[in-house]
Amino acid sequence: MKSSRLLTSVCCLFTSNFIFSAHAAEPSGMVTSIYFLMLLGGFTLCNIPLQALFYFNGQYCSTRFPLWHTAIALIVNIVGAVLVIDQQPSTAYLSMYLGIIIVAIALALLPMWLRQSAKPQSQHASRNLLIGAVIFGLVSLLAWPVAIFSAALAIVAKQQNSEQQGVINGVCWLVALATIIWFGYQASMLWQHIPAN
């Protein structure tokens, strides 16, 4: 339960970081386009492999896990809808943005549908999730916001380690801390380059 609250807090921080940086850098209407290209599209693209990992490793067997995963994904889409309404784009852009939001919401609700046919929890769930966390961590070297997904996977992998293997726990902590530090460093560098007006 604590990891779910941590993931929610991190995702809210992730979302607000891009929104506020976009508002500070470009206040003239490009904010919505930047949001959709960088945050909503990227989040949805990274969330799909996450859903596959969780489905095939048995995390959707529990009742709370798919609810929390769906809620976190829906927060990003709600922020997108609020941002679109706030920007008041033309009718053509509004239709396009709302269409993208509807597709993203449908993909965010996928865990609720996958829960009906959830696979049983795998013996190697923690190892598989840790491998996914390492892959997301390597991708975050190219696109640093992906580090949040790596940290989330590492935290879930540590919780799924029912055998309490010390090596897997240690690597989970290492991956989670390394990616959180990497994300914090890159976010602070981005924040320093935003002009103060």
| CA separation for the pair 68, 147 (Å, rounded) | 19
Q: Render pLDDT for 46-63 as a digit per residue (tens, 0 to 9).
A: 899 999 999 988 888 888
Domain boundaries, the chain: 1-119, 122-197
Q: What is the DSSP letter of 161?
A: -
Residue type, 101: I
Q: What is the DSSP letter of 27?
A: -
For residue range 17-50, what is the model confidence (pLDDT) as tens digits? Answer: 444 444 444 445 566 677 666 778 888 888 999 9
d(CA 98, CA 72): 19
Among candidates 57, 41, 51, which has minimal Cα distance to 112?
51
Whole-number Å distance between alpha carbons of 118 and 171: 27
Q: At CA 47, angle to CA 49 and CA 178, rounded to 5?
A: 90
Express each pLDDT in 57-88 by its tens digit. Answer: 888 888 888 899 999 889 988 887 787 777 76
In terms of phi and psi (left: phi > 0; alpha: psi -120 to 50; beta: otherwise), the region of 164 is left
Q: What is the pTM of this model?
A: 0.73
